[in-house]
Chains A and B, each alone.
Chain A
């Protein structure tokens, strides 16, 4: 078959993008447009579903099908759509407030059902659209418009939540790390089952630099560790630091001091999420924060396959539904004139 070769620009809608200049959302949009042509899915078979928030304006900027829905509920719309139209590639675009606050429930259930959709969670650790209140991922003590004396909630990690829900694909990337971001989105798209990609996204208006330690090229090497399946966990500008598993916790070591064999080898395919959970819990500044694919487990049935399979099975076992026969099933009686 001769598919037309599409370019990034073909995925751009005719709508003006209205994010604040300098917002990290632009980079995510650009990477998405860049990887989509490589996936070989036509534009008309691609759907973006979003909730509400700055990030959730995303679908308007894509020349695909799209739905900008209601706050926190994007996974539910995606569930109905993908269950009835498994032929479509469905992306869920959400923010940290959208996915974890108002939509926490749906987020968990979408992951545990393993619906075959790709969730991209733009995490700027703040509420952008409502102008600067703290979010479920804001750090403790963070001063925001709604927390003048500092946030007192303990933050939630989307990766930990996803692993606890037994998600089959869990990854993280960074708006400013464009190659890594593109690669990660592509891996997510290729996964069968729910994929979650958390993207550190700078809100330069309300939370500028909150994740500079991970975003800025200079600091990144020491504060972030890039996970690759089957490879040892090594990081640092000089690649002189590594991660070792000691008992039931992880520690940072100097690669010069320990034999190479002692370093933890990343196993993204391990169905047991215990070590992946330890990685998800690594926090700056005590530890480098992991990016890349934490978990990618294949072979778990998807909700959309199963719901359709039951219909196929029922039709095979009982034949296509026959209305006239249904009406006359059970006890009936005749009334004659």
Chain B
């Protein structure tokens, strides 16, 4: 299936609230850091993939083109890709096929998001995801769809709030060890359960913060990868899928779009038993229930079983299957597209043993990252290994 593709470099900015840097500046810092991390120069890069969420956040039309100088795309073949919140992981698939096809030998994958430009709150920019005729006249709130999905998930499996809140406790505490994290901190189960109710069952600490930030990866084919690093991290499988946009016609308790994307990625990676062949997972966790939802969609456990794995400590950094050892979106922050790419960057650092205080206890040789987005319908999955 084409040429082998490796990740050879990674860089990111801090994820912060209301960055003073512009989106271009954030993209530049991440991109430069990624190139520096593998000792490469921009003239060694054949093409650039940029992932960023809706233009609405920044109020800049075609913001990919606007950001492109900061992403090193001047004078190069350039493509923006966008599948809502799934963008960060999808952009790696995008970069992968540029290199796997042999069209490019090297490719930069850059994701940037600046959520804070939209006033008074970026939630307002999201509202246009609802159908303009049949839903928007009801004056919807973006939180509704997550609350509706979370309630359905809890009801289907008879879960209590604490079964889900443990994810937020784990991830926010994991993020304490991430130097780029926005929201790492010691929180307890009671803190989560006593936080302000926004849209029941969603409470304030069940949700990731509004963030600004950028992440970049350098992809290379095998011959270049072996030249620039002795620790390439191979992209073993990529997958993506969409569920129907008729979201009120779906069973909201299970993310089928993730399963479809995961099956595609696993098949490519030769994975037949994900629970045992995946050693570390970075599923998308903008809400705490989503980590559980996505662990199930990624076939890392059976339906409705993810809360028990969390309770048993299996998903802790020193557990048998560390999940979001980075701190995830709940802890590191959620600059949408950048947050998804952060997950792949985390696997890169973890598999190379470069994750510092975040390094997982178990020897990890293969990891899976996943992101989700738009009208709760996008699945994007990447499997990487050493």
Q: State whether these chains interact.
A: no
Interface residues of A (CB under 8 A from B): none
Interface residues of B (CB under 8 A from A): none
